Amino acid sequence: MKKLFIGAVMALGTAFSSVSLSFADELLVPNMTYRVGPYAANGTMMANGFTDYFLMLNERDGGIGGVKVKAEECETGYKAQVGVECYESYRGKNALVHTPNSTGITLQILQKAPEDEVPILTMGYGLSAAAKGETFPWAFNYPTSYWSQMTSILSYIESQGGLKGKKIGFLYLDVGYGREPIPVLEELGPKMGFETLYVPVAGKEMQNQSSHWLTIRKEKPDWVIMWGWGAMNPTAIKEAAKTRFPLDRFIGNWWSGAHVDTQALGSKAKGYLASSFTTTGTDFPAIQDMIKYVVKPGGSKTEMGMPGKVLYNRGMFNAVIIAEAIEVAQKMTGKKNVTGADVRLGLENIKLDEARLKELGLEGFTAPVIGSCADHENGGSIFVQQWDGSDWKRITGLIPPMTDVVQPLLTAAAEKYVSDKSGWTTQKCN
């Protein structure tokens, strides 16, 4: 017993001492994932796509610029407080860029990023106002923000029979993420002549939406736009089908239109729409490489059917932007082991145009992402996809956001955000 105890103490001692030996020759890319909890179905796909891309780079190219990438996961369960703990645990470890995977977490760590000099890339989520690069030097929204997306969705509805005099239902998860696009609806409602019916779904109720859909049935909106995530999405689609709401007038944002949301419902979800900025399918050389180097040999947690699914591909695209930023940073600074500050420069100078996307094996995968100092959003366009009963089919071309509407809102929001923060770091762009 005593020996066992001494052994245990020694094992613990070695464990402790090896904790501090994390400074190796590698690029540390932390990723706040959620493979447990009510959002796990979605979070797992995102995390797999993200991690697999870096594993593939390590296998195929020996990392980025000859340095291996350590894509390390930190489990948050989509809880903001745990996310902050994750963030704290990477302080002083030379993390290159943070991927919170949650708007709630983003809002909480946004203020800390300038102090730690580690940029935050919230790919298509997070604080919309972070698009203003002069006010938010350390936050990036590539390829587009929630506000831009909302205007694109409204443009789509406008093209499908107009908005004037219509009633739009807005069904949203009642957390920071879901509430994010409300200012756009409030701004555009009177301008474009539509009325908005707000239907918040609390996190606890997301699998029991009968009362929410009762409201929708009573109020009879012409369209319903959904900002949902996790188990909320399939529940909403199921309820919509049950209350006979026309599914081709029910449109989700890009986090509410994945295979995990509709697959179980199959043909019942037929007609449901969702926006997206990444293409599905495996017909891209980059994804083929991921299957060849990582998925098939069994080097990751990905099962064979996962690549090509909406969220897997999107997680991968998140990794592509980061990998590209690291590469740009390496070229700009001339050193292999870059820092968070270098990657921030890399993100501002990223140039994922058609040619580069083709080089990466992602031709036609998404709209180009061209970084700049002042615009951390890139105002990317989205397209609309529709569930045909067995797969997602892209049904529109690229729909650009209403820049003239979004930009003043972004400027005002950015100003409001910093108005009560003394000593906020800004930058000048020319």
Partner 1 sequence: MFYRETGQFKSKYKEELAAFPLAEDKVGIAILLVIAYVFIPLFGIPGLSFEFTMGAIMIPVFIFTITTLGLNILLGFAGQISLGTGAFMGVGAYSCYKIMTIFPDLNIIICVILSGLVTAIVGMIFGLPSLKIKGFYLIVATLAAQFFLEWAFIRVAWLYNYNDSGGIEGTNKEMFGLIVSGPQSDALTRYFIVLTLLVLLTWLASNVIRGRIGRSWMMIRDMDIAAELIGVRPLTAKLSAFAFSSFYIGISGALMVFFWLGAAEVESFDVNHSFTYLFMVIIGGLGSITGSYMGAALVWVIPVLIKEIGKTAFGFDAFVMENFSIIFLGVAIVVILIVEPHGLARLWQITKQKLRLWPFPY
Binding site for partner 1 (CB under 8 A): 12-20, 22, 33-36, 72-75, 77, 79-81, 84-85, 88-89, 91-93, 104, 107-112, 114-115, 127, 129, 174-176, 179-180, 182-183, 202-203, 301, 413, 416, 420-423
Closest to partner 1 by CB, 36 vs 395, is 36
Minimum separation from the CB atom of position 14 to partner 1 (A): 8
In whole angstroms, give the CA distance from residue 224 to residue 168.
Answer: 6
Minimum separation from the CB atom of position 17 to partner 1 (A): 5
Tokens of 309: 């699914």
Closest to partner 1 by CB, 298 vs 364, is 298
Closest to partner 1 by CB, 99 vs 386, is 99
Closest to partner 1 by CB, 90 vs 223, is 90
Minimum separation from the CB atom of position 21 to partner 1 (A): 8
- The interaxial angle of helices 310-333 and 40-61, nearest 10 deg, is 40
Closest to partner 1 by CB, 37 vs 400, is 37
Minimum separation from the CB atom of position 361 to partner 1 (A): 27
Closest to partner 1 by CB, 49 vs 371, is 49
Minimum separation from the CB atom of position 217 to partner 1 (A): 23
Minimum separation from the CB atom of position 384 to partner 1 (A): 26
Q: Is 406 left (phi over 0), alpha (psi -120 to 50) or beta?
A: alpha
Closest to partner 1 by CB, 216 vs 413, is 413
Closest to partner 1 by CB, 34 vs 387, is 34
Minimum separation from the CB atom of position 206 to partner 1 (A): 13
Closest to partner 1 by CB, 55 vs 163, is 55
Question: Largest Cα–Cα distance in the chain?
Answer: 80
Minimum separation from the CB atom of position 271 to partner 1 (A): 32
Minimum separation from the CB atom of position 316 to partner 1 (A): 19
Where b means 16+ CB within 10 Å and e means fewer, 181-214 reads bbbbbebbeeebebebbebbbebebbeebeebbe
Closest to partner 1 by CB, 398 vs 412, is 412
Minimum separation from the CB atom of position 96 to partner 1 (A): 17
